[in-house]
């Protein structure tokens, strides 16, 4: 039976969590993500998580009778943004759930939250930007707690406070930027494309 985009995103989330736990390598993650987003049927997806015993209960929902896209009543769907050596951009007015998962190894990721609608005062961002470049622009006064793996010459450059300051929104940023760069900023003095590229 054919799968939906939500099914592909569910498996991608499981794979990213497995990589974060050290169950699979970054190279395996990239290979499986590529296969996952090319998958067309449930049979294509199942082998991608078959050797991850901790996640077996989560993958059991990937079946034609119980689609993964069906969530519990009241559950809030995370936002999944995925590319490989590509460009991911979010600007202007967009809805931000309490959890955002971004995977863009070797690529360019730019997320501007200044005019976004935050559905929760706490926003968790799990970011995979290894060997790439990621730039986050937060609303004025927001705070950000950053715990990102920057081994292999990666870097994090944040110019916002870490300690939460309610009622301002707080961002909790985790993930990997091995060999990559992550920048976290407030708005620029002149809000135009050139300043957005310069941060």
Q: How confident is the model over 53-109, as pLDDT tens digits?
A: 544 434 444 444 333 333 333 346 889 999 888 899 999 999 999 999 999 999 999
Give the strands of the sheet with 143-149, arranged side by side. Answer: 79-82, 99-103, 122-128, 170-176, 143-149
Q: What is the largest CA-CA distance in the chain?
A: 53
Q: Is 177 exposed, middle or buried (0-12, 13-18, 19+ CB in 10 A)?
A: buried
pTM of the model: 0.59
* All structural domains of the chain with their residue ranges: 5-59, 79-198
What is the structure's pLDDT at 53?
55
29 vs 48: CA distance, rounded Å: 10
What is the structure's pLDDT at 188?
60
Identify whether the C-beta of residue 186 lies closer than 8 Å to the C-beta of residue 159: yes
Render pLDDT for 7-45 as a digit per residue (tens, 0 to 9): 888 888 888 888 877 888 888 888 888 888 888 888 888
User: Which of 72 and 46 is assigned the larger pLDDT?
Assistant: 46
| Mean pLDDT score of the chain | 81
- Kindly state the average pLDDT of the residues 114-138: 94
What is the structure's pLDDT at 137?
97
């Amino acid at each position: 039976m054919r799968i939906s985009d939500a099914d592909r995103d569910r498996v991608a989330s499981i794979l990213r969590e497995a990589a974060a736990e050290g169950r699979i390598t970054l190279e395996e993650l990239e290979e499986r993500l590529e296969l996952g987003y090319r998958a067309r049927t449930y049979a294509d997806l199942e082998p991608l998580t078959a050797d991850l015993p901790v996640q077996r209960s989560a993958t059991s929902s990937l079946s034609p009778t119980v689609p993964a896209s069906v969530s519990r009543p009241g559950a809030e769907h995370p936002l999944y943004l995925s590319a490989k050596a590509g460009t991911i951009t979010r600007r202007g007015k967009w809805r931000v759930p309490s959890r955002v998962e971004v995977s863009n190894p070797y690529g360019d990721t730019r997320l501007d939250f200044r005019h976004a609608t935050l559905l929760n005062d706490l926003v968790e961002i799990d970011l995979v930007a290894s060997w790439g470049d990621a730039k986050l622009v937060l609303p004025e006064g927001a705070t950000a707690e950053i715990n990102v793996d920057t081994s292999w010459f990666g870097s994090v450059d944040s110019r916002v406070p870490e300690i939460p300051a309610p009622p301002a929104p707080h961002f909790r940023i985790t993930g990997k930027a091995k060999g990559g760069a992550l920048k976290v900023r407030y708005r620029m003095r002149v809000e135009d494309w050139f300043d957005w590229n310069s941060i």
